[in-house]
Amino acid sequence: MPNIIQVLVIGRHEEILNTVLRLINNTPDWEAAGALADEQAIELFQQRRFDLVLIGRGVEQESEAKLRAIFTFQSPLIRIVQYFGDGGHLFAEIRAALEVQQEQKNALLDNPFQP
């Protein structure tokens, strides 16, 4: 069974969030959950294991900083990227973030002296 990439999508505009969720969930081997509020995003993050977090451009800077701090504290290698609601760029952003994440994991595995 293939490894399903789990994506948490955080946005402030319900229509855009639903579109992004639909695009991701229609992609084989990807599964997304979405949140319109910070508290909902934090709760989802604590309940499930996500490979990637996408934060929409409508999310306030203060909220984004808080979410990044909480998520990276709980999962230091989590990739967090901003998305802009454009379907074509969305897939490229996700793939690039996943590649960087895999490179970080490989670097940790390759370095026996890394704590």
Mean pLDDT of the residues in the chain: 85
Find the mean pLDDT for residues 2-15: 91
Domains of the chain in start order, with CATH, are 26-110 (3.30.1330)
pLDDT tens digits, one per residue of 80-111: 998 875 556 777 778 777 777 666 665 655 55
- Give mean pLDDT, residues 21-31: 93
Token pair for 29: 């081997």
**What's the CA gap between 23 and 112, in Å, rounded?**
39
pLDDT of the residue at 78: 92
The pLDDT of residue 101 is 64
Q: Contact at 8 Å (CB) between 53 and 10?
A: yes
Measured distance CA(11)–CA(18) in Å, rounded: 9
Give the global pTM: 0.82
